[in-house]
Amino acid sequence: MLKDNFYSINKVEIKDDMNIKYYLSFNQKHRIFLSHFPNNPIVPGACIIEIIRELASKTLKTNLNIKFIKSVKFLNVIIPDSNQEIIFDISLSPKEKEYSATTTIYANQTTYSKLNLELTTQL
């Protein structure tokens, strides 16, 4: 779990039960940034995907697992020391015991990533 260690939730904006914006900040001193990359830290793509899974699980109040990744577009890197607050705008669509999580990650006028994950309540 990365929450409260790698990142913190500063604010939550609820549009409805399945559409939520999370305002996050990153722990610039986290050990992940020591190796990714020394003196030029960026948020790893794998961590971005895990954050979406964690936020979707929090939104639905159930543990979700990644079934597969439909699409990922990394448009800009997230540099934790220059980007104070990053928005994860998540829209969930239910499909029986599965959910599609369409996410846009941005701050101000910069879009960092667009992702679509298929999540499931089963292993």
117: β partners = 69, 101
* Residue extents of the structural domains in the chain: 7-120
At 67-95, the pLDDT tens digits run 999 999 999 999 997 667 999 999 999 98
CA distance 80 to 2: 15
Homologous superfamily of domain range 7-120:
Hotdog Thioesterase (3.10.129.10)
The answer to whether 97 and 49 have CB atoms below 8 angstroms apart is no
Measured at the CA of 78, the angle between CA 109 and CA 6, to 5 degrees, comes to: 130
Per the document, the length of the chain is 123
Does the structure show a pLDDT above 70 at 99?
yes
pLDDT at 36: 86
3-state secondary structure 72-113: EEECCCCCCCCCCCEEEEEEEEEECCEEEEEEEEEECCEEEE
pLDDT at 48: 98
At 28-68, the pLDDT tens digits run 999 999 888 888 899 999 999 999 999 999 999 999 999 99
Q: Which two tokens stand for residue 95?
A: 């499909």
Average pLDDT over residues 84-111: 95
